A = this chain, B = another copy of it.
Amino acid sequence: MVSAHNSDGSAPGRPARPVRYELLTLGDELLLGLTANGHLTFIGAQLGRRGALLQRNVTITDEADAIEAQFRESWARADVVITTGGLGPTCDDRTRDVVAAVLGQKLVFEESIKRAIEERFARFGRKMTDNNLKQAYIFERGEVLPNANGTAPGLWAEQDGKVLVMLPGPPNELQPMFIDQVVPRLAARGLLLDRESYVQLRTAGLGESALETKLQPVFDRAGPALSVAFCAHQGAVDCRVSSPSGTLAPSDLDRIAGECVALLGDDFVCHGHDSLARVCAELLRAQEKKLAVVETATGGMLAQAFTEVCGACKFFAGGVVCCSNDAKMQLLDVPECLLLQHGAVSDEAAVAMATGAAETLGADYALAVTGFAGAAEAAGSPNGNPVGTMFIALFSPAGVWSKKLSYPGPRPTVKVRAVNAALDWLRRELLRAQRGQATPVRRIGVMQ
């Protein structure tokens, strides 16, 4: 069996050769575009964090012939094959039978799984139909991955120097099973690293190439044993430092990451994968401050960024989504004359909306986003602002400011970028407040 570890098994090391992972996602609903292939996104990211690049993902129909042919091919080529779906109780759940036949494995009935399924039905007060018993059949030479959130258990088998992992289709069953049971098993066999393979620094405010230029002195000092990868999202660029050869120990990587953080200043967002909204939420909680938001063109997206953070009530005072001038006046006391003079998409309107949201909701901070995300709205602009013109405003204990943004691109992109710009602005202001610094940015001066 190949390995993702050094022989001592401790540090990220050079494998004999990369472990070949293939993922088979089964189901006509994926091929008909009825469901997004979230298993690829989830499993690909989980493997990537532990130093393995998924080599291939194949999505095929539920037909037994298609499953058999594809499984044979993947099993011949890969070191680890992961399948998702097709383990359920109904007649189109054929994966277990087909795979067992290819591997020459017997399926045996496991009494304890039958009892677990019966108990689950009893707990929800439903009657168990007989087809559910199909899910109690497991590989004779294999292991069961118990399913805490559904009836079909996962299956694990090792054979021909390879590993087979079969997972149920529903994401809320698959994801905890993968993290809690599959990742530790793969790591124990040296097929994944037992820690993250890289140190990730999430940054905002710099493009990919500007970020690279800024950090180059650190990379130069570290030498050729350091591997650096950049990954741009909407509103953030991640920088991942790793040592594929294993020459640099994890503690070296942490030290190098620390040097990067020191150089980045407030352009550093967080280690790891937290969203801008989550980072803002932590700063707000630490400072015991409350936030309000008000938005037009982004239509609830800004509020959602915060309400998705667990325990949002602790820091989120509330949000207002308004399209019409009436709503701005009624909910937030934005003066009608201001909207008539400057238009609802203007620096002045954004500042008045943020101020109104903070005051009405009794919040310490407020974000406002107003603009033209699509062509229909921009057509009516009294100021001739083109599509993609967005104004964001930030109300804080230190004052209230606005910024004009201009984004090319399709409507969904414009919305995401405006939301991220607002989140990043709040984050920087909260960092300054934490340090007790005055705010240097005064784009259009303080209202009120």
* Closest Cβ–Cβ distance, residue A266 to chain B (whole Å): 24
B28 touches A53 (CB 8 A): yes
A31: which B residues are within 8 A, CB to CB?
A: 40, 44, 48, 53-57
* Closest Cβ–Cβ distance, residue A370 to chain B (whole Å): 12
A318: which B residues are within 8 A, CB to CB?
A: 320-324, 326-327, 331
Q: Which of A79-87, A140-148, A160-168, A407-415 contacts B (4 or more CB under 8 A)?
A: A407-415
* Closest Cβ–Cβ distance, residue A322 to chain B (whole Å): 4
A8: which B residues are within 8 A, CB to CB?
A: none
C-beta contact mask, A43-67 vs B, less than 8 Å → 1, else 0?
1111010000111111111000010
Is residue A313 contacting chain B, with contact meaning CB distance below 8 A? yes
A149: which B residues are within 8 A, CB to CB?
A: 410
A35: which B residues are within 8 A, CB to CB?
A: 41
A312: which B residues are within 8 A, CB to CB?
A: 299, 323
A303: which B residues are within 8 A, CB to CB?
A: 299-300, 303, 321
* Closest Cβ–Cβ distance, residue A271 to chain B (whole Å): 17
A53 touches B48 (CB 8 A): no
* Closest Cβ–Cβ distance, residue A52 to chain B (whole Å): 10
B319 touches A320 (CB 8 A): yes
* Closest Cβ–Cβ distance, residue A410 to chain B (whole Å): 4
Is residue A129 contacting chain B, with contact meaning CB distance below 8 A? no
A59 touches B33 (CB 8 A): no
A317: which B residues are within 8 A, CB to CB?
A: 323-324, 326-327
Interface size bracket, A side: 35 or more
* Closest Cβ–Cβ distance, residue A324 to chain B (whole Å): 6
A172 touches B409 (CB 8 A): yes
| Cα separation A312 to B297 with both chains bound (whole Å) | 10
Is residue A362 contacting chain B, with contact meaning CB distance below 8 A? yes
C-beta contact mask, A188-213 vs B, less than 8 Å → 1, else 0?
00000000000000000000000000
* Closest Cβ–Cβ distance, residue A50 to chain B (whole Å): 12
Within 8 Å by CB of A59, from B46, B57, B70, lies B57
A41: which B residues are within 8 A, CB to CB?
A: 33, 35-37
Is residue A337 contacting chain B, with contact meaning CB distance below 8 A? no
B313 touches A324 (CB 8 A): yes
Given contacts A55-B31, A56-B58, A300-B303, contact A320 B323 (CB under 8 A): no
User: Which residue numbers of A lie inside 8 Å of B, CB to CB?
Assistant: 28-38, 40-46, 48, 53-61, 66, 70, 124, 149, 172, 231, 233, 293, 299-304, 306-308, 310-313, 316-324, 326-327, 330-331, 360-362, 374, 376-377, 408-410, 413
22 A-B pairs whose Cβ atoms sit less than 8 Å apart in the complex: A31-B54, A31-B56, A31-B57, A36-B37, A37-B37, A56-B61, A56-B66, A57-B58, A293-B321, A299-B306, A299-B307, A299-B312, A300-B301, A300-B307, A317-B324, A318-B323, A318-B327, A319-B320, A319-B322, A321-B321, A331-B331, A331-B360
